[in-house]
């Protein structure tokens, strides 16, 4: 369900006023979005999706399919995102007090960005650009928290 919420937020301008067909191999996701959940965190997520859709006039038609028919999407969902880590906020604030302010986080995602502007390996809500290596880094105080895989691209 988090994927549905993130997709809605990422492509909100494209989805406004549209009817979407969401195909999933997760029967629980389908049931929760249709009827709700007794688990607070899942109910809150379902409610968030409902509110996004209501606010932006989006209708989602949900359809369940067997996992065997969803192999491409299943493969993509299991890709490892090496950007999925971060340094503690306190350490970032310390470094920013010495070297900042940092303007853009070049290797982040919506859940771990340290600055308002950020680049990511994959599309995220509010991402400024996908793939930091395609961007002009001049005249910016860039925050770089680089992992080994990213260093291999430099």
Please write the tens of the pLDDT for every residue from 56-98.
999 988 888 887 777 776 666 666 555 566 788 899 999 999 9
Task: Confirm if 22 and 61 have CB atoms less than 8 A apart.
Answer: yes
- Span(s) in the chain for CATH 3.30.420.10: 2-77
Tokens at 111, concatenated: 């859940």
H-helix or E-strand containing 51? helix 40-55
Taking the domain 2-77, which CATH number applies? 3.30.420.10
49 and 34 in contact (C-beta within 8 Å)?
Answer: no
The angle, 0 to 180 degrees and rounded to 10, between the axes of the packed helices 27-35 and 40-55 is 70
Each residue's pLDDT tens digit, 102-112: 999 998 888 88
> Which pTM value belongs to this model?
0.53
Give 35's contacts (C-beta < 8 A, 6+ positions apart).
Answer: none
């Amino acid at each position: 369900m988090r994927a549905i919420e993130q997709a809605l937020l990422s492509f909100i301008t494209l989805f406004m006023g549209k009817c979407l067909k969401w195909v999933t191999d997760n029967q629980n996701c389908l049931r929760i979005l249709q009827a709700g959940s007794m688990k607070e965190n899942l109910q809150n997520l379902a409610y968030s999706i409902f509110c996004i859709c209501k606010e932006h006039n989006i209708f989602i038609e949900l359809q369940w399919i067997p996992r065997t028919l969803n192999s491409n999407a299943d493969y993509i969902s299991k890709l490892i995102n090496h950007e999925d880590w971060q340094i503690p906020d306190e350490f970032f604030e310390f470094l920013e007090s010495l070297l900042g302010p940092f303007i853009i986080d070049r290797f982040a995602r919506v859940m771990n960005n340290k600055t308002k502007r950020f680049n990511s390996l994959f599309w995220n809500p509010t991402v400024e650009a996908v793939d930091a290596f395609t961007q002009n880094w001049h005249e910016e105080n860039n925050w770089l928290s680089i992992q080994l895989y990213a260093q291999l691209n430099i």
